[in-house]
Structure 1
Amino acid sequence: MDPHAVAEEDISYKEIPHNLEAEQALLGAILVNNEVLEKVQDFLLPEHFANGAHKKIFAACSTMIEKGQLVTPVTLKPFFEKDELLDEVGGGIYLSKLAASAITIINAVDYGLLIYDLSMRRGLIDLGTDIVNKAYEFDVEETSKEQIEEAEKKLYGMAESGTTEGGFKDFKTSAITAVNVIGNALRRKGELAGVTTGFNSVDRKIGGLHKSDLLIVAGRPAMGKTALATNIGFNAAKAYKHDKELGVPDSENKGAVVGFFSLEMSADQLASRILAEQAQLSSQDMRQGKLDQDQFNRLSRVAVELESLPFFIDDTPGLSIGALRTRARRLQRQHNLGLVIVDYLQLLRGSGKGGSENRVQEISEITRGLKGLAKELAIPVIALSQLSRTIESRDNKRPLLSDLRESGTIEQDADMVTFVYRPEYYHNQQQPDPGTPEHITWLEEGEKLFGMAEFIIGKQRHGPTGIIELKFEAEITKFSDLPVDEDHLPEKFE
């Protein structure tokens, strides 16, 4: 045997995925029957074609048909009279050949799907090559972890662009989905249509946390935003674990696996808050080690009980919205994520490196990204937000929608905007001189406000706005429902 022949056989050449025949067949079918374009233009774009001339022909067909013009080899020819790219494949005669070679239009969609699939494969090859080349390059400013996040971002970008799924759904499909949601609420005795917050008074008014919704929880510092978000996250995770152990199917589970993105506090600080709340211990005493043996034993028992809680914390500082979405997707794949909490919105970064010159645009990108994440994963997303300082200069400190920082974009993208307000905090800052009549009045008023908090719904797409009064225990950072009796109506709704 000729050794050179063996060497030639060992040489393998991998051709870039493409199918010119499928591209020709689809373009020919469009030239014969313009209605074919309607069947593929929902997912197929000019850049999905491998051949440069075919890209231009498909783009020209799309432009003309969208203008209501008839596309034939004759009407299309003027577009390419001086086009060198089309001259390389035969000029205007090539258009006639495409139309003449169109055997059938029945398989036009199959041709389109094949072209799309091959384009995605070429994209994967390009992405893989880019990943390999970047991995070989040593860039001090870009760590391997950042490269992985960037690669995941591009990979999901490919999956989301030009997708063959989605589009219009007939009313029957949408109605069935709506009835299923209502049916789940009915099986829960009408209390919930979504994930529980753990507060009966809140769940009654909003029906729980709904899939695909972006919920903003805003407040000034020291109002208890993080405490409330932590309480809601813990309650949802605890309810999920409880229902799971009872064998309740996920579609009827009133809880959720929680992903908590803590950009301000570390994971251990957040865990300490939950432990303090559940063990009924002062978080300050825990931090300073002022616990007796019985209290420490109680804390240890609670820690063991909570070990299997489906509550995941990511405390990476300065996280970008792209990285956050990537990590949330990964958590859903691995652990069936059902609720995302972000503490807090203004600490997230946009996609631009080094921050954006226009902060309003960056916040807009972040809120759109969070809303997009909620829709994509079909889960509720809670984002905490700071309020502007202008609230401090008003006599009435109760927050308004206009107090949101960069309020226009946040209010626009959110399905629900809520506020946490503790009148007791502001009352304590206005203490008169001791021994004066004003001080006695101040003390009496303080007794009424002690432990009182307001959960204010400023905007809600699915229901009314108003105020729900809650109890807040500052020492253990715990919110809870107020005891309701005939003489006390804590909910004020419009």
Structure 2
Amino acid sequence: MTTTDTPNQKDESLLALTLRQPPANVEAEQALLGALLTNNRAYDRVSDFLAGEHFANRVNGQIYEAIARRIENGQLADPVTMRAELEHSGILASVGGMAYMAKLLSSMVGIINAGDYGRTIHDAWIRRQLIDIGENVVNSAFGTTMGLSGQDQIEAGEEALFKLATEKGNEGDFVSFNKALSGAISVAAQAFQNEGHVTGLTSGLRDLDKKTGGLHPSDLLILAGRPAMGKTALATKMAFSAARAIMDEAEETGEKPKGAVAIFSLEMSAEQLATRILSEQAEVSGERIRRGDIGQKEFDRFVRVSHELARLPLVIDDTPAISLSAMRTRCRRLKRTQGLCLVVVDYLQLMRPSVGTRPESRVLEISMITQGLKAIAKELEVPVIALSQLSRQVESREDKRPMLSDLRESGSIEQDADAVMFVYRDEYYLQQRMPKETAFESMEKYSVAMDEWQRKMSLVHNKAELILEKQRHGPTGTINLFFEGEYTRFADLDTIHQEH
């Protein structure tokens, strides 16, 4: 048997809600200020996370800021030295003047307890911020915020919570060099024990792993190139190789995969991306797959490979124009439920910044996105590979190999990235310069030009360059790769056995 509240009971409940006071501990604020005024060394215990805005009582916050200013300037902050500033500014006028200072001194706690009182004040501030966020979510849901859909409101609420979680105060501390050395030795030992000396996730490309040591947690890697260079194919190769390595490790240990590889495909659908991977692994042309122009043996191989790939810890999100806040939320959820080892974004110019932000320019918008992607990499401790378009100025040069200055709406792309890589295929540009018979006076000259063109084409056929232009933790340089256009497949280039 269920019971329902009467109208009077509901009214009383609503009244109780409206009469509730926001979390605050004024006594703790007064006790901490008393400790600071008595012994300035107490400031060292709270200065790294506590600010004047965290105090519930506005006057207490202003007094704290005044004390902090003097201490930061190397001056003594006690009732005598503070008196002139507090009286002149009128801060104490609303609380009884200098008599309030006496009250603070009588409320003081020892320097040992100052940190605990500071954290109590800070925790109450966080709770007040949560109440404000909750009220904003409720008001938006009631329709007071125009122009935001229900999904936008969810993302705005998540963004506000994330901002509070990341900006609530810097409570970090120094790490002893001994501890840092232990971590460095652990990484070196892992590299020594691993085949190929790879400390991070493998990219599936031998020569790239040699230069980078693999894909490392917290790193943002930018993979850029002009259209038709193979950015998506190369990023897909890396994602697939990482997922297969994760699966192989899980099978060796008899445990579940330690995490998934997430691909955010803003340009291609999940089906198109899956077809590319299938085409590469089954060695069946994607174009022929779409046309249905395949034989029974190829179809059987296609199905067999698809069953093998279905076991891989690889997930695809093909939401178009996904916002940074939505991406962050989905990555955090995936890490919590399944584990997360790598994030691939194809590509960053198609993303939207967090809901509620309105950048003044496209450059600033892209900067916010790259900073957000770097924050995701650091927070979730996973490598993030973000694809990027290059500006058209590449096409106007004789040598069309990309440079850092070619990054489109670059802003802070170069600054935020731990590594910047460009994919380049000379074959693509040379193919467009195929001699035309009508452009020559005689067949003899045309034949000479065609022979020269074919000679150059043979030198670059099925070859690509991965130009590692920036790497924060290691060397730069050009890595030669094998590229098979029919299957949009990248692989290591075997320069010793090219003739085979």
Q: Describe the SS at the equivalent of 1:209.
A: coil
State the 1:274 CA deviation: 1.0
Question: What pairs up with 1:272-283 in 2 under 5 angstroms?
Answer: 272-283=275-286
TM-score when normalising by structure 2 = 0.89
Cα 1:460–1:126, aligned 2, differ >3 Å: closer, same or farther?
Answer: same
Question: What pairs up with 1:185-264 in 2 under 5 angstroms?
Answer: 185-189=191-195, 191-247=197-253, 257-264=260-267
CA distance in 2 between partners of 1:467 and 1:369 (Å):
28
The answer to whether the aligner puts 1:482 opposite 2:482 as a matched pair is no
CA distance in 2 between partners of 1:8 and 1:319 (Å):
42
Amino acid in structure 1 at the alignment position of 2:110: T
Cα 1:180–1:249, aligned 2, differ >3 Å: closer, same or farther?
Answer: farther
CA distance in 2 between partners of 1:292 and 1:257 (Å):
34
Pick from 62, 85, 93 the counterpart of residue 87 of structure 1. 93
Q: Is 1:236–1:256's contact at 8 Å kept on the other side of the alignment?
A: no
TM-score when normalising by structure 1 = 0.90
Alignment correspondent of 2:375: 372
Pick from 49, 54, 57 the counterpart of residue 51 of structure 1. 57
Amino acid in structure 1 at the alignment position of 2:277: I
Alignment correspondent of 1:418: 421
Pick from 287, 302, 309 the counterpart of residue 299 of structure 1. 302
Alignment correspondent of 2:443: none
CA distance in 1 between partners of 2:273 and 2:10 (Å):
63
Amino acid in structure 2 at the alignment position of 1:22: A
Q: Is 1:431–1:442's contact at 8 Å kept on the other side of the alignment?
A: yes
State the 1:112 CA deviation: 0.9
State the 1:293 CA deviation: 3.5
Alignment correspondent of 2:36: 30
State the 1:289 CA deviation: 2.4
Amino acid in structure 2 at the alignment position of 1:309: L
CA distance in 2 between partners of 1:289 and 1:138 (Å):
53
The answer to whether the aligner puts 1:452 opposite 2:463 as a matched pair is yes
RMSD over aligned Cα atoms: 2.6
CA distance in 1 between partners of 2:248 and 2:332 (Å):
24
Alignment correspondent of 2:25: 19
Question: What are the Cα deviations for residues 115-144 of structure 1, in whole angstroms up to 9, with x where unaligned?
Answer: 111211222222222222222227673222
Alignment correspondent of 2:290: 287
CA distance in 2 between partners of 1:202 and 1:77 (Å):
65
Q: Describe the SS at the equivalent of 1:470.
A: strand
CA distance in 1 between partners of 2:121 and 2:408 (Å):
46
Q: Describe the SS at the equivalent of 2:132.
A: helix
Cα 1:176–1:354, aligned 2, differ >3 Å: closer, same or farther?
Answer: closer
Q: Is 2:59–2:92's contact at 8 Å kept on the other side of the alignment?
A: yes
Q: Describe the SS at the equivalent of 1:35.
A: helix
Amino acid in structure 2 at the alignment position of 1:336: G
Cα 1:122–1:167, aligned 2, differ >3 Å: closer, same or farther?
Answer: same
Q: Is 2:159–2:355's contact at 8 Å kept on the other side of the alignment?
A: no
Q: Is 1:44–1:162's contact at 8 Å kept on the other side of the alignment?
A: no
Identity level (%):
49
How many residue pairs end up in the alignment? 480
State the 1:306 CA deviation: 2.0
Instruction: Using the TM superposition, name which of 173-182 and 76-85 deviates more.
Output: 76-85
Cα 1:424–1:54, aligned 2, differ >3 Å: closer, same or farther?
Answer: same
Cα 1:461–1:249, aligned 2, differ >3 Å: closer, same or farther?
Answer: farther
Any gaps of 5 or more consecutive residues in structure 1?
A: 1-5, 489-494
CA distance in 1 between partners of 2:309 and 2:498 (Å):
37
CA distance in 2 between partners of 1:374 and 1:165 (Å):
20
Amino acid in structure 2 at the alignment position of 1:438: A
Cα 1:104–1:138, aligned 2, differ >3 Å: closer, same or farther?
Answer: closer
Question: What are the Cα deviations for residues 304-356 of structure 1, in whole angstroms up to 9, with x where unaligned?
Answer: 22223221222222223333223222222222212111111222223476964
Question: What are the Cα deviations for residues 227-268 of structure 1, in whole angstroms up to 9, with x where unaligned?
Answer: 000110111011111101211889xx9x96212111111121
CA distance in 1 between partners of 2:10 and 2:393 (Å):
78
Q: Describe the SS at the equivalent of 1:106.
A: helix
Amino acid in structure 2 at the alignment position of 1:52: R
Q: Is 2:158–2:325's contact at 8 Å kept on the other side of the alignment?
A: no
CA distance in 2 between partners of 1:275 and 1:287 (Å):
12
Q: Is 1:282–1:476's contact at 8 Å kept on the other side of the alignment?
A: yes
Q: Is 1:239–1:256's contact at 8 Å kept on the other side of the alignment?
A: no
Alignment correspondent of 1:429: 432
Q: Is 2:126–2:168's contact at 8 Å kept on the other side of the alignment?
A: no
Amino acid in structure 1 at the alignment position of 2:399: N
The answer to whether the aligner puts 1:184 opposite 2:190 as a matched pair is yes
Q: Describe the SS at the equivalent of 1:228.
A: helix
Amino acid in structure 2 at the alignment position of 1:289: G
State the 1:8 CA deviation: 13
Q: Describe the SS at the equivalent of 1:109.
A: helix
Alignment correspondent of 2:5: none
Any gaps of 5 or more consecutive residues in structure 2?
A: 1-8, 438-445
Question: What are the Cα deviations for residues 61-113 of structure 1, in whole angstroms up to 9, with x where unaligned?
Answer: 11121112211122223333266663333222111221233142211111111
Pick from 471, 475, 483 the counterpart of residue 464 of structure 1. 475
Question: What are the Cα deviations for residues 421-472 of structure 1, in whole angstroms up to 9, with x where unaligned?
Answer: 1111111101013552110121122122211111111111222211111111
CA distance in 2 between partners of 1:146 and 1:245 (Å):
41
CA distance in 1 between partners of 2:484 and 2:33 (Å):
69
The answer to whether the aligner puts 1:68 opposite 2:74 as a matched pair is yes
Alignment correspondent of 2:121: 115
Cα 1:256–1:191, aligned 2, differ >3 Å: closer, same or farther?
Answer: farther
Q: Is 1:349–1:355's contact at 8 Å kept on the other side of the alignment?
A: no
Question: What are the Cα deviations for residues 266-325 of structure 1, in whole angstroms up to 9, with x where unaligned?
Answer: 121111111111221111112222233333332222222222322122222222333322
Instruction: Using the TM superposition, name which of 362-371 and 233-242 deviates more.
Output: 362-371
The answer to whether the aligner puts 1:327 opposite 2:330 as a matched pair is yes
